[in-house]
Amino acid sequence: MNAVLVIDDSAIMRKIILRQLSQAGIPVDSALEAADGAEALALLRQRTPALILCDVNMPNLSGLGLLSRMREENLALDVPVVMITTENSEAQVRQALALGARGYIRKPFTVDDLKSTVTPLLTAAQPA
Amino acid sequence: MKARKIRVLIVDDSAIVRRILAETIAAESDIEVIATAPDAYVARDKILALHPDVITLDLEMPRMDGLTFLRQLMFLNPVPTLVVSSQGQSSCAATIEALRCGAVDVVAKPATPHALRNLRLTLAEKIRGAAVSRPRPATDTPTSRSRRAISAADIAGVTDDPITVGIRKAPASNSASIADRRIASPQSISKRHVVAQRSSRSLIAIGASTGGTVAIQEVLTQLPADMPPILITQHIPAGFSSAFAERLNRNCAIEVREASSGDMLRPGLALLAPGDHHLVLRDGPKGLTVDLDRGPEVCYLRPSVDVMFLSIAESVAASSAIAVLLTGMGSDGARGMFALKQAGAATIAQDEASSVVYGMPREAIRLGAVNSIAPLSSIAPLLVRLALASKLHTSPESTLQEAFL
C-alpha cells in the first residue's frame, strides 16, 4: 500500500533517506528506488507509489525534468512529491512547486525535518 | 598575472633519488627545483642563500641524519618540509618522529615500481600542500611520556568557544535551561555512570591528511580509556601506518593499533587504516566490525576518508556516530561527512587557524556537512563531552551546542 519512491543518484543517500523515513515513523510497506529521473519515470509507468522523494540534481533526467515528464504523461499526479536539494535556490523551489511538487527539503536534513515535511502531505493524501 | 612557482630544494644523498624527484617535479608547471643537496650541511647553505618554499628531505644521510637536521631547521628557520623516506622499520619510526618534529607530510621513497608510481601521482600535490602549510616547531610533548588524558574534572571547566556553524535550528535562547543540563560538578560523574552514558555513541571516526599525524596525536593522547570505539583514516604511505599506530599506542590511554580485517569495534580501542587499504565499517550479525578494502583509489587516495565515512553513513551506527575531519590538503572526507550528517551523525571540522592545511575541513564546511568548527585543542574535550551526552534526549546539534558550553 504505502510504497515510497526515493530518487537520488547516490545509493548510500537513498539508503539513508529510507532509514530516516522509518526513524520518522512514516509507514513504508515497500521501498522503491531510482538512481535518476529516467529510471524513476520508467518505474512510475509501472507503479504508483504513495509518496515520492526526489533529488533535484541528477544525471540523465533531473528532478525538475522528471516533474515535467510526469505532467506530460499524466503520471502519478495525485502522489505528493517532495523535492530534495542541496542548494538554497528560491528560483528552483518556485519552479519545482509550479511543476507540481508539494514539498521541498534541503540536504542535509534531520529526521524531524523529514517528518514535519512529509507527514502533513501523507495525511492530506489520505482519502476521507 | 601568473602565480609564482613553488621553489623546491631537494635534500637526498642518493643521486638517483634526487634525479627521480627532480624529473617528477619538472612535469609540473607550477613547481620548480631550485637546487639539490646531498647532505645537511650543503642543504643548510642553500636554504640560507636561496630561501626555498619547500624542502624534500631524506632522513638517512651521511654526516648529519635528516632528523637531527630537521630539528635544527624547525627550531632556527622553519621551512615546510616533506619527508622522503624508505619503508624499513627504523625509517618508519624516524618518519613518524619527523612528522612530530614539524615535517608536513611524507612520501615513500621510489624503491619499488609501485612506490615510484605513487610518488609520480602524489608528489606534486604534497608539495603544493606543503607550500601553503604553516610549519610548526615540534610539540614539546616528550615522545616517551604519555600525555595526560582528560578527566571529568577537566571537561567540566572547558571554556573554549569554537564557532558553531550549520545549525539550522535556532540556537537555544534560554541559556539558563542549557546551564541546567550542563555537567553539574566533576564529582557528580562516577566512572560507572560515564561508561553507561558513553554507550549511547556508536563510534568516533577521524579523517586527516597533511599535518594529520600530529593533529591526531594531539586529540588521541587526551582521550580517556573509556571512549567509544574510534576509527582513523590518515593519508599515509604503506608501511608508515604501523609505526604511527605504535607511537600513538605508547602515548595514549586508549589502545591504538593498525586495523586488521574482521577486527571488532570496542570501547577504548582505536583502529588506524593501514597505508594502501581503505578502512570500512561493516555491520554484520556479530556487531560492528571493520574490513580492509583494496578497492580502487579515490582521487589517488587509499586509504580514503570518504570511503570510511560513507561506509559508516550507510551503517546502522550512523545516527549515533561522531565524525571529525582534521587538517589536510584536498577535499577527501567532505562528501562522506555530508552523508554522515544527513544520517544524523554529529560532525566536527578543525578550524582554519589550527590547521596545517585548511583544505578538507573547508570543503566539508562549504558543502554544509559540518555541525561545528573547532580549534584542534578543543576537539578532544568536545569528543569527551559528546561521548558523555545521552543522545536519547538531544539531537547531535543541540548536544554539540551544549558540549561547547
Catalytic residue among B332, B351, B354, B372: B332
Contact B324, B383 (CB under 8 A): yes
Per annotation, catalytic residue among B85, B91, B209, B315: B209
Q: What is the pLDDT of residues B122-140, one digit of tens each?
A: 899 999 999 999 876 665 4
Q: Which of A55, A86, A89, A107 should one mutate to test binding to chain B, selecting the residue with the greatest count of B CBs within 10 A?
A: A107
Res. B235: pLDDT tops 50:
yes
> What confidence tens digit (pLDDT) does each residue in A11-51 have?
999 999 999 999 999 988 899 999 999 999 999 999 999 99
Domain B152-404, CATH: 3.40.50.180
Which value does ipTM take for this structure? 0.88
Cβ atoms within 10 Å of A109's Cβ, excluding its own:
19
Q: Which of B232, B241, B225 is nearest to B205 (CA)?
A: B232
The answer to whether the pTM exceeds 0.90 is no
The answer to whether position A61 is within a domain reads yes
* Beta carbons within 10 angstroms of residue B289's beta carbon: 17
Catalytic status, residue B260: no
Task: Report the C-alpha gap between B327 and B211 in whole angstroms.
Answer: 6
Query: Is B209 an annotated catalytic residue?
Result: yes
Q: Cα(B282)–Cα(B294) distance, rounded to whole angstroms? A: 15
- The 10 Å CB-count burial string (b at 16+, else e) for B312-344 is bbbbebbbbbbbbbbbbbbbbbbbbbbbbbbbb
> In the structure, how many helices (H) and strands (E) does chain A have?
5, 5
> What percent of chain B lies above the pLDDT cut of 90?
65
pLDDT score, position A86:
83
Is A16 close to B341, i.e. CB distance below 8 A?
no
Residue with cell 509501472: A46
Domain count across chain A: 1
Domain boundaries, chain B: 6-131, 152-404
What residue in B sits closest to A17 (Cα-Cα)?
B343
Of B339, B368, B397, the CB nearest to A12: B339
| Residue A124, in any domain of the structure | no
Cα–Cα distance list, A96 to A54, A75, A83, B146, B256 (Å): 11, 16, 7, 58, 50
For B369, the closest chain A residue by CA position comes to: A108
Assigned domain for A123 exists? no
The C-alpha torsion from B83 through B89 and B94 to B97, rounded to 10°, is: 100
Question: Does the annotation mark B45 as catalytic?
Answer: no
pLDDT score of B397: 55
pLDDT at B286 over 60: yes
> Which residues lie below 8 Å from residue A32, measured CB to CB, with a gap of 6+?
A3, A4, A5, A6, A43, A47, A49
Averaged over B164-174, what is the pLDDT?
Answer: 34
Tell me: pLDDT of B186 over 50. no
Q: What is the pLDDT of residues B37-51, one digit of tens each?
A: 999 999 999 999 999
Q: Mean pLDDT lowest for which of A16-30, B172-186, B277-291?
A: B172-186
Find the CATH number of the domain harbouring A89. 3.40.50.2300
For residue A32, the enclosing domain spans 3-109
Nearest by CB to residue A110, choosing from B338, B344, B368, is B344
At the fourth CATH level, the homologous superfamily of domain B6-131 is Response regulator (3.40.50.2300)
| Residue B212 pLDDT grade (very low, low, confident, very high; cuts 50, 70, 90) | very high
Nearest to B386 by CA among B355, B352, B345, B327: B345
Report if residue A15 sits inside a domain: yes
Tell me the mean pLDDT in the region B243-250.
95
User: Strands (DSSP E) along B183-241, which ranges?
Assistant: 203-208, 230-234
Q: Which of A19, A23, A108 sits opposite B341 (nearest CB)?
A: A108
The DSSP bridge partners found for residue B284 are: B287
| Smallest CA–CA distance from A108 into chain B, residue | B342
Nearest CA to CA, how far is A114 from chain B (Å)? 11
Domain B6-131 matches domain B152-404 at the CATH topology level: yes
